[in-house]
């Protein structure tokens, strides 16, 4: 059974609308992350959280807002969607915070298409 | 800046043939880079394949090997004889153990192994 659950797997949205991507991890980890990958681009880091606190934000736009209601949840709210937001969004977690010192575990991703 | 460049896919190989995926990195702001290969099998999230934290060392896992070459800033992934089950997307990544910076990934290389 997958230990990191992302919902939905696929999402189609209209330009200007708002969507929430869900991520839950059942590994007992303390750190969670969001990455995204657009076509032919690197897997790009967006946010990291540790014990539900934002630790790092590499996303320039305030349209992307992570939400952590519980330690094992890190949802991603995206407002005023644009076609350029079309990508696969990956949630990840690790025991401690820091991608080099800790092994990252990823969900299967949510593929978002904005029309 | 810090970045990772890897073989542009897709790469198609026949079963029992050898495979090499090139990865080079630029670590201008990282004093002691750590290097990683992650793999994403169809329908699953990325998972760690191997990591090397010391220049000159080799990492190995599941028949794959990669050597951290500081002189050529490379971390190529090789396997002598691939199997159909090795069909996946392979990501090279760069990390910094100083602080909690997130891993920097490449674009991923899609490998298809034909029977």
Secondary structure of chain B as H, E, C letters: CCEEEECCCCEEEECCCCEEECEEEECCCCCCEEEEEEEECCCCCEEEEEEECCCCCEEEECCEEEECECCCCECCEEECCCCHHHCEEEEEEEEECCCCCCCEECCCEEEEEEC
Q: What confidence score (pLDDT) does residue B71 get? A: 95
B13-26 average pLDDT score: 97
Name the residue among B112, B109, B111, B113 with its Cα closest to residue B8.
Answer: B109
Q: Do B109 and B79 contact (CB within 8 A), yes or no? A: no
pLDDT band at B99 (very low <50, low <70, confident <90, very high): low
Residue of chain A nearest B40, judged by CA positions: A108
Hunting for tokens 């500081």 — which residue is that?
B70
pLDDT band at A93 (very low <50, low <70, confident <90, very high): very high
How far is the C-alpha of B103 from the C-alpha of A104, rounded, in Å?
Answer: 9
Residue A85 CA, distance from chain mean position: 13
Q: Is the pLDDT of residue A100 over 90?
A: no
CB contacts of B40 in chain A (<8 Å) are 106
Lowest mean pLDDT among A79-83, A90-94, A96-100, B58-62: A96-100
CA dihedral (A47, B30, A103, A86) positive or negative? positive
B55-59 average pLDDT score: 96
Q: Is the pLDDT of residue A38 over 80?
A: yes
What percent of chain A clears pLDDT 70, i.e. is strictly above it? 100
How far is the C-alpha of B24 from the C-alpha of A64, rounded, in Å?
Answer: 31
Q: Which tokens belong to A28?
A: 């007992």
Would the CB atoms of A45 and B103 count as touching at under 8 Å? yes
Q: What confidence score (pLDDT) does residue A7 get? A: 97
CB contacts of A108 in chain B (<8 Å) are 43-45
How far is the C-alpha of A57 from the C-alpha of A18, rounded, in Å?
Answer: 20
Would the CB atoms of A45 and B104 count as touching at under 8 Å? yes
Tell me, yes or no, if A93 comes closer than 8 A to chain B by beta carbon.
no
How far is the C-alpha of B24 from the C-alpha of B39, rounded, in Å?
Answer: 17
Per the model's pLDDT, the better-predicted residue between A60 and B15 turns out to be B15
- Find the farthest-apart pair of alpha carbons in chain A and give their distance in angstroms, rounded: 39
Q: Do A48 and A115 contact (CB within 8 A), yes or no? A: no
How far is the C-alpha of A105 from the C-alpha of B51, rounded, in Å?
Answer: 14
A31-37 average pLDDT score: 96
Q: What confidence score (pLDDT) does residue B102 get? A: 86
Peptide bond into A8 cis (omega under 30): yes
């Amino acid at each position: 059974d997958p230990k990191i659950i992302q919902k939905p797997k696929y999402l189609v949205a209209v330009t200007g609308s708002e969507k929430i991507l869900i991520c839950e991890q059942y590994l007992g980890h303390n750190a969670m992350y969001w990455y995204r990958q657009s076509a032919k681009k690197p897997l790009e880091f967006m946010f990291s959280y540790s014990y539900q606190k934002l630790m790092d934000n590499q996303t320039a736009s305030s349209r992307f807002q992570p939400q952590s209601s519980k330690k094992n949840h890190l949802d991603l709210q995206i407002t005023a969607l644009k076609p350029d937001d079309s990508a696969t969004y990956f949630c990840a977690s690790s025991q401690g915070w820091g991608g080099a010192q800790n092994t990252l575990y990823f969900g299967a991703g949510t593929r978002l298409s904005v029309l | 800046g810090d970045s990772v460049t890897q073989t542009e896919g897709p790469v198609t190989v026949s079963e029992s043939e050898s495979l090499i995926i090139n990865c080079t990195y630029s670590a201008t702001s990282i004093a002691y880079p750590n290097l990683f290969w992650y793999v994403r099998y169809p329908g699953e999230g990325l998972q760690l394949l191997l990591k090397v934290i010391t220049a000159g060392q080799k990492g190995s896992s599941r028949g794959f090997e990669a050597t951290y070459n500081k002189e050529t800033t490379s971390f190529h992934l090789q396997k002598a004889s691939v199997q159909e089950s090795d069909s996946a997307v392979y990501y090279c990544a760069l990390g910094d153990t100083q602080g909690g910076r997130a891993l920097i990934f490449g674009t991923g290389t899609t490998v298809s192994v034909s029977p």
